[in-house]
Structure formats: structure tokens, C-alpha cells
């Protein structure tokens, strides 16, 4: 493999990516990589994964589903943290 060509492909793929942290969806690989797993990565990592054939850019529907799933996970984590703290605020009584 010619490294100059490889890294030029990576730079070209990176230039096409508009988001700072794009979402990519994994492709099946020979070494057991699982297909269909969405992940948010940096632009440089996304470009390398796309050029290597281990991932593809996510569709608009996949991006929406991923964002919804991450929002639900954050909400659940916030609720769990609040419950662990006690979740009760003490407000002094005036007067």
C-alpha cells in the first residue's frame, strides 16, 4: 500500500465531513467487527474509518436515533446521580 495515496484519501474524506464530531456506523470486518454500531468520533477518526472500510457515514435517520438514545442515556444518568445524592433540596423557611 502506498502511504501517500492512503493519507491523501484520508485527507480528502476528512475535507468532505462537515460536522466537528460526525456519527459513523460500523461495517462488518474480517476480525469480528460488529456491523451497525453507531458512534460519534472526531472528523479525523471518521475519515480514517471510512477510508479503511470499517465504517460509513450515518444517515439522517440513524443520526436522529443516535441523538435520541444519547439524550435518554444522559437523562437516566442524571436521574441516577440525583437519586444517589438524595435528590432532596432543603429550603430554609422565611420568617
Give the pLDDT confidence of 1-32 residue by residue, as tens digits: 799 999 999 999 999 999 999 999 999 988 88
CA atoms within 13 A on the CB side of 29: 14
| pLDDT value for 80 | 86
Average per-residue pLDDT for the chain = 91
Placement of cell 479525523 in the chain: 44
| pLDDT value for 58 | 96
Who has greater pLDDT, 59 or 95? 59
Domain ranges of the chain: 3-71
23 in Cβ contact with 43 (< 8 Å): no
Q: pTM of the predicted model, to two decimals? A: 0.77
Q: Exposure of 45 by Cβ count < 10 A (0-12 exposed, 13-18 middle, 19+ buried)?
A: middle
pLDDT band at 83 (very low <50, low <70, confident <90, very high): confident
Longest Cα–Cα distance of the chain, Å, equals 79
Amino acid at each position: 500500500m502506498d502511504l501517500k495515496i492512503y493519507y491523501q484519501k484520508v485527507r480528502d474524506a476528512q475535507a468532505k465531513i462537515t460536522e466537528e464530531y460526525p456519527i459513523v456506523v460500523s461495517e462488518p470486518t474480517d476480525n469480528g467487527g460488529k456491523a451497525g454500531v453507531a458512534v460519534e468520533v472526531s472528523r479525523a477518526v471518521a475519515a480514517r474509518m471510512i477510508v479503511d472500510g470499517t465504517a460509513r457515514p450515518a444517515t439522517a435517520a440513524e443520526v436522529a436515533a443516535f441523538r435520541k438514545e444519547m439524550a435518554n442515556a444522559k437523562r437516566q444518568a442524571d436521574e441516577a446521580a440525583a437519586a444517589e445524592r438524595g435528590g432532596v433540596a432543603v429550603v430554609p423557611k422565611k420568617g
